[in-house]
Structure 1
Amino acid sequence: MKEFMLAGVSSGVGKTTVTLGILKALANRGYQVQPYKVGPDYIDTAYHSRITKRASRNLDSFMIPDTLALAWSYYKWHQDADVAVVEGVMGLFDGLGTDKDCASSSDIAKKLGIPVILVIDGKATSTSAAAMVHGFSTFDPELTIAGVIVNRVASQNHYELIKGAIERYTDVEVLGYLPKNMDVDLPSRHLGLIPDVEMEDLDQKFDILGKLVEEHIELSRLLEHVEKATVRMQNPFATKNYAPLTLAYAMDDAFHFYYEDNFDLLRDLGVTLVPFSPLKDPQLPQADAYYFGGGFPEIYAKELMANVSFRQSVLEAHEKGYPIYAECGGLMYLGSSLEVDQVSYDMVGIFKGKSIMTPRLKRFGYCQATTQVDSLFGPKGTQVRGHEFHHSTFETQEEPVLALEKTRDGAVVASWTGGYQKKNTFASYLHVHFYQGESLLHHWLNYIQEAR
């Protein structure tokens, strides 16, 4: 089994570009490639999945604190693959606070035994690159740095200077580079890269990247460095059958931020999943409960408002007592209105309040919530790990039901309230991974059963 992590020395060195090129080149060679992404990312994983035709998975040691559950989120998915490729997050040692082993790419690499290919930015550097690689390769002796790839190189001569310096002053092999190429730049907006569903020329960019990797990166040599024995493990989650429960979930251009593992765990428990589109469908499908994930409702606010019959069907489902769970973009949709560039658009109206888009991130990062009332998460006092990332605020007089705090290096650095519950509808800005604890998901499914 071949497996490796592509990790940057910092954010912005182009590790996503390098990852996409390598995924495409491996796919072109006929390999079955299982992709992963460190951290709570939805857009990069969609890019991975589009290239490999396999659902990319999130590896997150904050959201999944149990080591066995974390290992299962990794090993389960590449048993039938030839290569496992993990894209890191931020810089290799960057995580939550100053602890290099707290929710960082290096933490994931060590816990799962994944060799690291370090990605550095070659722009405006030569011999100094060796000092950077030396520092990263010696900073944590428990970590395996299996090679280096240099991005944004000006010329072959420039690459030879960088390669020569690194291999002269360190024991790390340089495995190739990518040249500067404006044709493969990936556009972004307020939440990062633009989702793949909105990109018309994405496949052409992937083709170019795949060819660049074949031309400039020693892919066969890289694969020689990352051969490992295949690991087999048992499913650590208890088996329980919730059939014939049916959960319908929003899935279209406006709502598509979900952890694939959440869906698969639900299927493993016998839950039938049914997609629907708040943009296109006339009404909700028949189901026992409904799930609105995150996404970009602000980009499609006009279209969401125009689908009056669908919005009315959601409000009616709420009034009839159907359980509804919403995260981030879902909360924005279930409020009374959504304001974008000072234009207000009518939304569902379960929660009396308006979402207002803001120029800067209002919340960013991992946090822990404690329920202030009995809810679908569990009894009052239940703790939930999650992640917030949004460019909006929800202004409301509704009573919040979550107390949230962000800790860093053992100290609370921020605290706030959020999350709202009415009848059997719960919505908050919190993105939640179900692998964090079985009781959380089982309580939600039992909650749905009792409401039927």
Structure 2
Amino acid sequence: MSIPKLVIAGTHSGAGKTTVTMGLLKLLSKRMNVQSFKIGPDYIDPSFHTYITGEKCRNLDSFLLEENTIKYLFNKNSKGKDVSIVEGVMGLFDGAKPDNDLGSTAHVAKILKAPVILVVDAKAMARSSAAIVKGYSEFDSDLQVQGVIFNRVSSEAHYELLKAAVEAYTDIKPFGYVKNDAAITLPSRHLGLIPSVEQEGLNERLDLLASSMERTIDVDGLLELAATPDSTQELHYLEPSITPLGRKIKVAVAFDEAFNFYYWDNLDLLRAYGASIHFFSPLRDQMLPEDVDLLYIGGGFPEVYMKELENNRSMRLSILENLERGLYCIAECGGYMYLTNEIEDLDGNKASMVGFINGKSKMTERLQRFGYANLELADSSLYGIAGRKIKVHEFHRSIVELEEEKDLLFNMNKIRNGRESKWQSGMQKYHTLCGYPHIHWYSNFEFIENLLNVI
């Protein structure tokens, strides 16, 4: 299947790739059916993509997923779409390791055989932009850096200087620029952009961004590049073998402003095995959906909504009673925090949570265990027998202080700059498995298959 595609990459985090991607998605969605992807283990940027296009944004991650899986998920989710836009992660070559491209935007772009548009923060810059573009375009000869878009440009005259410099020293085509305008900047907090579900006036801000970019970006030129024969090379892959369970499983998924960190391919995988998905809100609903076989509480920002979660006592009791009766449950990161006795914020304010896990969650000033890691089951659990492994990601600014004796379920390790770090994480209580690691089940089908087979 030939799929027009582009990868939008940045020179570094904060260069403006998310701004460019969102503006481009907004413009293209007016004209055609667009599928978006986000490279790396990100939940917040994809929420904006989904908001803009109306199609669920999908994650592509070459640390968590094998190359064949990336090609499969890209083709599966791009089927029937007019163009696929892939937003990168961090800087173009930044990934899991400093000496190779594993987990980087560059790696995924090469797997997809996709042309790359480099986004450069050009504030207070002119001829130096050519050196940056030249270096990035020549660093990896297997990578197709085909164009550049400049961000935070002060004027048309400023762009003309940047364009002339790049054209004088490189063969890379400038496709335009984004103005340096606070009115099109989206607000952030401790884990990145404030999620789309929380932002008032988002439509107006996105319309303003798209309107501005429509005047300064060569959108038709980008579409032509996305549709060239080199860009639409067919990706060869093996489709994974998924055998439905042959029985119905009802899965309740917590989804609202407090809990919305999910890999959408995980939910599709549940459906492929025969499960039905039923969303509910721990903030607003009074109790869990009836006759649930599995409860799935993903990550999010329970600390931001801890008073509202506390005030919904009916839901907290509904979850507690069901878990104590043996309901199967997977709780990741924010979901894990929600199951503890209470959450304490940085100011010492506290709010009662579900109380199934005897302990409390405390917010911290610094990130904890940030980045990719390898997970091994220390003991047999809902995810399978001891020794089973999977690649995961952690990204949180909290800790859980347990006040009950529990064997920690996950042996974790990561290697950074040649040094290995080891720690233990996670726990299982009754039929509830919880911990901080975020798991993409396409990384190891055995985990989700074992869970579904024991329900």
Aligned residues: 445
2:420 paired with 1:413: yes
Quote the offset at 1:413 in angstroms: 3.4
Report the CA distance between 1:259 and its aligned residue: 0.5
- Deviation string, structure 1 residues 135-191 (Cα, Å, up to 9, x no partner): 111110100011110111111111111110101000111111111111111101111
Amino acid at match of 1:244: K
Counterparts of 1:230 and 1:244 in 2: how far apart (Å)? 39
Tell me the residue number matched to 2:313.
308
Alpha-carbon shift at residue 351 of structure 1 (Å): 1.2
Does 2:106 correspond to 1:106? yes
The residue that corresponds to 2:232 in the other structure is 229
Partner SS, residue 362 of structure 1: strand
**2:382/2:450 contact within 8 Å kept:** yes
Q: In 2, Cα distance between the equivalents of 1:237 and 1:231?
A: 21
Tell me, yes or no, if the aligned pair for 1:121 and 1:151 is still in contact at 8 Å: yes
TM-score with structure 1 length normalisation? 0.96
- Quick one: distance in 2 between partners of 1:281 and 1:201? 25
Partner of 1:39: 40
Structure 2 match to 1:373: 379
| Contact kept in structure 2, 1:405 and 1:412, CA below 8 Å | no
CA RMSD of aligned residues (A): 1.3
Flag as ranges the 4+ runs of structure 1 deviating above 3 A: 228-234
- C-alpha distance in 2 between matches for 1:253 and 1:353: 24
Q: Does 1:9 align with 2:17?
A: no
Q: Which runs of 5+ in 1 are unaligned?
A: none
Q: Pick closer, same or farther for the CA change 1:171–1:42 going to 2, 3 Å.
A: same
Q: CA deviation at 1:447?
A: 2.0
Deviation at 1:229, TM superposition (A): 3.2
Cα distance in 1 for residues equivalent to 2:175 and 2:243:
44
Task: Provide Cα deviations, 1:271-320, integer angstroms capped at 9, x if missing partner.
Answer: 11111111111111121110110011001111111111211111111111
Q: Secondary structure at the match of 1:407?
A: strand
- Contact 1:324 1:424 (8 Å CA) reproduced: yes
Separation in 2 of the partners of 1:230 and 1:161? 35
Q: Deviations over 1:86-130 (max 9, x none)?
A: 000000000012133210000000011111001001111111110
Q: Which aligned pairs between 1:291-306 and structure 2 lie closer than 5 A?
A: 291-306=296-311
User: Equivalents in 1 of 2:190, 2:81: separation in Å?
Assistant: 34
Structure 1 position 384, deviation (Å): 2.2
For the pair 1:354 / 2:360, whether they are aligned, the reply is yes
1:234 to partner: Cα distance = 5.7
Task: Give, as a single letter, the amino acid of the residue that structure 2 aligns with 1:104.
Answer: S
Distance in 2, Cα, partners of 1:438 & 1:419: 19
The answer to whether the aligner puts 1:401 opposite 2:433 as a matched pair is no
SS of equivalent to 2:110: helix
Moved more, 392-401 or 225-234: 225-234
Match of 1:335 among 335, 340, 350: 340
One-letter amino acid of the counterpart of residue 420, structure 1: M
Aligned partner of residue 70 in structure 1, secondary structure: helix
Q: Is the 8 A contact 1:75 1:231 kept in 2?
A: no
Which of 240, 243, 247 is residue 239 of structure 1 equivalent to? 243
Contact 2:390 2:444 in 1 (8 A): no
C-alpha distance in 2 between matches for 1:143 and 1:2: 17
Instruction: Report the secondary structure of 2:147's partner residue.
Output: strand
SS of the counterpart of 1:24? helix
Q: Which amino acid aligns with 1:130?
A: A
Which shows bigger deviation, 213-222 or 411-420? Answer: 411-420
Structure 2 match to 1:262: 266
Q: Give 1:208's aligned residue.
A: 208
Match of 2:331 in 1: 326
Q: 2:394 maps to what in 1?
A: 388
Distance 1:224 1:279 in 2: 45
What whole-Å deviation, never above 9, does each CA across 1:7-30 have from its counterpart, x for those lacking one?
A: 0011111110111111111112x1
* Superposition deviation, residue 242 in structure 1: 4.6
Q: What secondary structure sits across from 1:360 in the alignment?
A: strand
Equivalent position amino acid for 1:31 in 2: M
**Overall identity of the aligned pairs, in %:** 45
Partner of 1:89: 89
8 Å contact from structure 1 (residues 243, 272) kept in 2: no
Aligned-partner SS, 2:63: coil
With 192-201 and 375-384 compared, the bigger mean Cα shift is at 375-384
Q: Secondary structure at the match of 2:118?
A: strand
User: How far apart are 1:237 and its partner, in Å?
Assistant: 3.1
Match of 1:24 in 2: 26
Q: Helix, strand or coil: the match of 2:321? A: helix
- What code does the residue aligned with 2:413 have? E
What amino acid is aligned across from residue 229 of structure 1 in structure 2? T
TM score, norm. by length of structure 2: 0.95
Gaps of 5+ in 2: none
> Once structures 1 and 2 are overlaid, which stretch shifts more, 342-351 or 112-121?
342-351
Structure 2 distance, partners of 1:33, 1:137, is 27
